[in-house]
Structure 1
Amino acid sequence: MSEKARPGFFPQPVPPMVRLYHPVSTDTHISTDPLHTFPDRRTSNMAAKFCLGLIVALSLISIISSMQMAGGAININPDRADVMNAANFAMQEFNQNSKSVFLFKLLKVLSAQSQVVEGINYFLDVEIGRTQCRKGSPSNAQSCNSEVAQISVCKFQVWDIPWLNKKTLVSYSCKSQ
């Protein structure tokens, strides 16, 4: 089949290239279009938006990473009232369960963590002291003014279920200093 007989083939001369762009203007006319007068502004606006987006994303990542996992233990202020209540409860239970003939008293809450479970778990590091007061004496350990004979650091775990008005000393361990 010859070239002339092929359908759709037009053996016409190829027209010269058509310009698809506008030539750069040489006139001194100043445009009022801000993007036309400053061609780099569009690029700088995109860069500014990108930087702003990056800052927001990094801020969110920072906030999320500083948050504790749901259900995880978080550090709390040892001077909070609920922490002191848990520590005092732990001391009462410790004194009832200890084999010592002397009472122990809470000297200081060193650190505290809380964990929301079915209630609240308190993880306490406390400093306690053995007093000169004997168990069964009319005074309690906190009001015992005698000199502290022995100091220990203890770890207490207290489980508090406030809506049932129930506290439990789950575990404890102590080391003498």
Structure 2
Amino acid sequence: MAAVMEKLLLLAVMIGVSAASGRLLGGIEEAPVDDQVIQDAAQFALSEYNKASNDLYVSKISRIVSAKIQLVSGILYFLDVELGRTQCRRAVVDSLELCSFHTASGLARKERCRFTIRTIPWLQVTQLLKSQCQEVTT
């Protein structure tokens, strides 16, 4: 319930800021990548990504590159995220926080993903609308 209230408060603040700054409601705005709602949206996208992945190992976020937000009939989050393959196997992972990134040649893998997430806080709905990832070679 607290998460719903937090998102509704964010929505109200963004509407107020939008009105005060003369920006159009529905416009896409930059958002701070360290904001908790951005972090939550990124973790949701990661969870959905890992569920859909056929990889033997789970991935985790190494960095949120950028975040944008749009107020529509709910909130759209547009995230540009870097992921890395961890040493944790899908079947046995309890907490991603305990998983280290693979560093061994052949197992280390990095991806850059663009996620679009929609939340409708008053309906308690969160959906991953789009997931587009590309392997990063270093």
TM superposition score normalised by structure 1: 0.59
Shift in Å, 1:165 = 1.6
1:75 paired to 2:34: no
The equivalent of 1:63 in structure 2 is none
Q: 1:158 aligns with which of 109, 117, 126?
A: 117
Larger radius of gyration: 1
The answer (yes or no) to whether the contact 1:106–1:142 under 8 Å persists in 2 is no
Aligned match of 1:167 in 113, 122, 126? 126
Say which structure is richer in strand: 2
| 2:131 paired with 1:176 | no
Kept after mapping to 2: 8 A contact 1:74/1:115? yes
How far, CA to CA, are the matches of 2:51 and 2:97 in structure 1?
Answer: 14
1:146, distance to aligned residue in structure 2 (A): 4.7
- Alignment-mate amino acid for residue 129 of structure 1: G
Runs of 4+ in 1 over 6 A off after TM superposition: none
SS in 2 for 1:142: helix
8 A Cα contact 1:109 1:124, kept in partner: yes
Which of 58, 62, 67 is residue 103 of structure 1 equivalent to?
Answer: 58
Answer yes or no: is the 8 Å Cα contact 1:106–1:128 preserved in 2.
Answer: yes
Alpha carbons of 1:128 and 1:165: their partners in 2 closer, same or farther (altered >3 Å)? Answer: same
Q: Which has the higher contact order (CA 8 A, sep 6+)?
A: 2
Correspondences of 1:30-69 after superposition (within 5 Å): 68-69=23-24
CA contact (8 A) 1:119 1:160 kept: yes
What is the TM-score normalised by the length of structure 2? 0.75
State whether residues 157 and 169 of structure 1, in contact with CA within 8 Å, keep that contact through their aligned partners in structure 2: yes
Checking the alignment, whether the CA contact within 8 Å between 2:45 and 2:117 is kept in structure 1 is yes
Aligned with 2:92: secondary structure? coil
> Which ranges of structure 2 fall in alignment gaps of 5 or more residues?
1-20
The count of aligned residue pairs is 113
Contact 1:155-1:173 at 8 Å conserved across structures: yes
Sort the Cα spacing of 1:170 and 1:108 in 2 relative to 1 into closer, same or farther, 3 A.
Answer: same
